[in-house]
Chains A and B, each alone.
Chain A
């Protein structure tokens, strides 16, 4: 009774309407096309922010459209509603039903990845080991005790700090205040202007020149003017994202280090690059393959792993991929591994499997039906 009433309600009738599906598919089509063209001028990151991960977008700054996220959510609700109220659950429709079940899995995988997966990278020189990976886009201000035997780092996300202006770090009993952020800057050695206190920097930087912020966030190198206060003293700092070394200073009795660095993520294991090899096709600089031998150290485990193109290494929801490499001026080889933490990575696989199964069932059903029909006609 109630179910029927719900089914007749206007909102449900709207949500299960096939025309809503058509409108959403059309919008998604338009957004995908616009986003793809947008990439040509503004890069992938910008296209993702404007079209694919947004709820609303202004095309060319003029035409307002729902973003792909909104459309996908509506489409998802539409699918859920149709599953409950519209689909006919008959044996002959089972193929179509399985196909839409596969879509469910794909939607889940997509939303889960969107909101919970973490992508970062790890750049290692031969012989180097790390247990933190670094973010592609985000920066953080990190402070630690310069003299302590084990480094305990207190870090604040630059974007958060920019929003709040200052933050208190209890561990070192200091206050970190942000005075100015240059989102993309060039650094100069020039001394501070008259009347201004000299700011500390390990590389001798004294001045930033603001640069245009690139649409590709990997091309932006920020700098900050910040003040650390605590133990009755104030230390003005100038920190650059390309500083060669952290800046150390005395605050009361304690010597602290600070640096502006890519946001770091703790990993449950340490990865040490033992050997990197790149093979090239004969007489050319086209790489035929590249691979890294790494030593993986985790509590209770210690082994060598080979990571190469198309053959990643997986560990507890983390996956390590051979992404690229470089050879620096001194001739040492650096290997870049992409690190992805995604606990739902198998969901799209399952969705693909279900969808394939559904299509197979559907086609078999259609074929069987045709054969039956033709058989009946021949008999007649």
Chain B
């Protein structure tokens, strides 16, 4: 161990100097570059191949115990809004920041979305980039500090976009600089130079040399004793021996560093006292006061863990894979052994696996392929393309129905073996569907697997029901839409199933990415939400209600376009209408039950069933709007087209209730504020209203024309576009005859 101290001493002394440079936020960069052999060294051939052993080391961030891998991901996402940095996965990037801080000054990791901030900081905004390096930001650091202090004075609601961006940047720069300094306790520093062989011998150090804070802090009891003895001797004799001088200087520097750097990050060393677990950073662990309650063998173990941290630093610099892995494993092992019986540490492997596999991203990618297939189907040659009405309603007898009827499926044709049975059961039977439709359906089916696995893994990691925060509502609705699409595709052989599943799934996963961009997607729960019973009932049901309403919206839009395009063939689309009706009924039911269960939870938690809280109101709006549609239909104020248009508009209400409310930033339920989404929401509302208006007008004029032409050419034929007198009942999952359903 000691050998390597002197071996790496020169290199690391420079890093320490550089860190002090960053600390002072000054110093000329050229001088530092000349002094920095590290840069050339780390750029050479000797590099670690793998940081897998670093990933599972446990760390606490925002109250949650997580593997280092997740910490790296969240930190990179928080700083840069990205999931990788120049091809480096987050853990590689974090290791680089931790272990070779000299190299990262020019790394463009700071996301600055608002160019006004750059102007305010007096920085060059002309380049048009949106990610900047530490070196770049440091030029405006004084102004940034001033503006951040100003913005901090303003109450949270009153802050402008620029205020928030300034604060975010200031905090991010602080966090980043702190992380770059973290390992400085292992670097030899002139403050801990021992130039006296005698003093070195007294401290049990191998000789006069420049040592690190770690080296000296591990001997802090000896140093303090020697220093106080020297001080009292001084009062007597009036004279310091050189060894005494060294001791007094070391003691002073120890105290200075201890007080200055106790806020540096990387809490990886848990200690338990009186049943409460606190996670210490290496710097805090080197402060003996934080270990005063610990048993002797634990203190020894913690000191050993600190030394393994230094081992990791050295191994990283020297590019020695085996040594790095051994040190990392020994650190994780020691922490686990030490805490056994004192605290329940989570097993990091599952979360690391979740991070590595990233099942949600995989599902999104597969759905994207499916979406391409769907689009390809739209532009495919006519013979391979059948309208969405492929499933025709009962009679299908009129001329229009016959054109779009599918070739009937004979059951005996593919009855060889389980594979065929499975394919038939899943509705993937060849020949019955166009090629691209089959590809889309396969994509939906394949994508559903990682999506489900992702949700299950998240549940296993957090020990919670599937939905506990806004991010998870999107993932869950994506899952519900995909499942609904699959079930539908199993029942009916048209493209509504894949369209709902892939369209809904893709949209929701994309939105989840947007809402997960501010950091950890598995955060700890506020105390009031900490009840698995209500999270799994109320939250899950209300989220399924959102999903059903979104599906109703998609089907409603399809139905509107169909009616507007072929107003004379309303009967052919009867099945689509019934599906719309069913989805809407499900939406109303689930939203209503979910809302009432929310009331019961509210009554259990804070004593009132209903309090006009914004999120409650949002759920109520969904219920009212869907109830309104059903009653208006019953009162014959609107027809089937009106139901479809109402369902399309319902999605606006759902969006408002789901995350529009959070944008208002009031109420007990507001768990996240997302800038920029508001603009999207307003744009969406306008687009949706425009869509409904335009399609509605087209429908009206075409229907009139169609009726007129019918009456003029064949006055005796009954008009096909009139509504049937009988009201359709609320049905379970679709209706109409289904000729593709295998028996």
- Give Cα distance in the complex from A109 to B603, angstroms: 12
Contact with A along B264-304 (1 / 0, CB 8 A): 00010010000001110000000000000000000000000
- Give Cα distance in the complex from A17 to B661, angstroms: 34
Shortest Cβ gap from A15 to chain B (Å): 14
Q: How large is the interface on B (under 10, 10 to 19, 20 to 34, 35 or more residues)?
A: 35 or more
Among B524, B534, B599, which residue has its beta carbon within 8 angstroms of that of A288? B524
A32 touches B624 (CB 8 A): yes
A366 touches B63 (CB 8 A): no
Among B599, B620, B634, B730, which residue has its beta carbon within 8 angstroms of that of A348? B599
Residues on A with beta carbons closer than 8 Å to the beta carbon of B375:
none
B527 touches A288 (CB 8 A): yes
Residues on B with beta carbons closer than 8 Å to the beta carbon of A348:
596, 599-600, 603, 609-610
Residues on A with beta carbons closer than 8 Å to the beta carbon of B625:
29
A345 in contact with B603 given A29-B628, A36-B614 (CB within 8 Å): yes
A32 touches B605 (CB 8 A): no
Among A39, A310, A345, which residue has its beta carbon within 8 angstroms of that of B614? A39
A355 interfacial contact with B, CB 8 Å: yes
- Give Cα distance in the complex from A370 to B491, angstroms: 15
Residue of B at shortest CB range from A37? B664
- Give Cα distance in the complex from A351 to B589, angstroms: 14
A355 touches B612 (CB 8 A): no
A310 touches B661 (CB 8 A): no
B617 interfacial contact with A, CB 8 Å: yes
Contact with A along B115-147 (1 / 0, CB 8 A): 000000000000000000000000000000000
Among A323, A355, A377, which residue has its beta carbon within 8 angstroms of that of B593? A355
A319 interfacial contact with B, CB 8 Å: yes
B526 touches A286 (CB 8 A): yes
A290 interfacial contact with B, CB 8 Å: yes
B398 interfacial contact with A, CB 8 Å: no
Residue of B at shortest CB range from A17? B635
A283 touches B527 (CB 8 A): no
B627 interfacial contact with A, CB 8 Å: yes
Residues on A with beta carbons closer than 8 Å to the beta carbon of B627:
25
- Give Cα distance in the complex from A171 to B589, angstroms: 58
Of B384-392, B454-462, B508-516, B731-739, the one with at least 4 CB within 8 A of chain A: B731-739
Residue of B at shortest CB range from A32? B617
Query: When A and B form their complex, what is the total count of cross-chain residue pairs whose Cβ atoms lie within 8 Å?
Result: 161
Shortest Cβ gap from A92 to chain B (Å): 9
B49 interfacial contact with A, CB 8 Å: no
Residues on B with beta carbons closer than 8 Å to the beta carbon of A290:
527
Contact with B along A283-295 (1 / 0, CB 8 A): 1101111100000
A352 touches B600 (CB 8 A): yes
- Give Cα distance in the complex from A35 to B618, angstroms: 11
Residues on A with beta carbons closer than 8 Å to the beta carbon of B195:
none
- Give Cα distance in the complex from A28 to B624, angstroms: 8
Residue of A at shortest CB range from B59? A283
B612 touches A349 (CB 8 A): no
A289 touches B530 (CB 8 A): yes
Among B63, B600, B610, B729, which residue has its beta carbon within 8 angstroms of that of A280? B63
B612 touches A47 (CB 8 A): yes
A39 in contact with B610 given A21-B631, A309-B530 (CB within 8 Å): no
Residues on B with beta carbons closer than 8 Å to the beta carbon of A129:
none
Contact with A along B300-341 (1 / 0, CB 8 A): 000000000000000000000000000000000000000000
B527 touches A309 (CB 8 A): yes
Interface residues of A in 325-362 (CB under 8 A from B): 338-340, 342, 345, 348-349, 351-352, 355-356, 359, 362
- Give Cα distance in the complex from A342 to B534, angstroms: 22
A35 in contact with B612 given A29-B624, A309-B528, A310-B604 (CB within 8 Å): yes
Residue of B at shortest CB range from A44? B612
Residues on A with beta carbons closer than 8 Å to the beta carbon of B234:
none
A282 interfacial contact with B, CB 8 Å: yes
Residue of A at shortest CB range from B636? A18
Interface residues of B in 597-633 (CB under 8 A from A): 597, 599-600, 603-614, 617-618, 620-621, 624-625, 627-628, 631-632
- Give Cα distance in the complex from A32 to B267, angstroms: 47
A359 in contact with B589 given A18-B631, A25-B631, A309-B528 (CB within 8 Å): yes
Residue of A at shortest CB range from B638? A22
**Can you name 20 extra interface pairs (CB under 8 A) apart from A310-B528, A366-B732?**
A18-B631, A21-B631, A22-B631, A25-B624, A29-B621, A35-B617, A36-B618, A280-B63, A283-B60, A284-B63, A287-B526, A290-B527, A309-B605, A312-B607, A338-B606, A348-B610, A355-B592, A359-B593, A363-B730, A366-B730
Could you pull out 20 A-B pairs where Cβ atoms are within 8 angstroms? A22-B628, A22-B635, A25-B631, A29-B628, A32-B617, A32-B620, A36-B621, A37-B664, A106-B596, A281-B62, A283-B267, A284-B60, A290-B527, A309-B530, A310-B531, A338-B606, A349-B600, A352-B600, A363-B589, A366-B732
Instruction: List B residues at the A interface (Cβ < 8 Å).
Output: 60, 62-65, 267, 270, 277-279, 524, 526-528, 530-531, 534, 589, 592-593, 596-597, 599-600, 603-614, 617-618, 620-621, 624-625, 627-628, 631-632, 634-635, 637, 656, 661, 664-667, 729-732, 735, 737
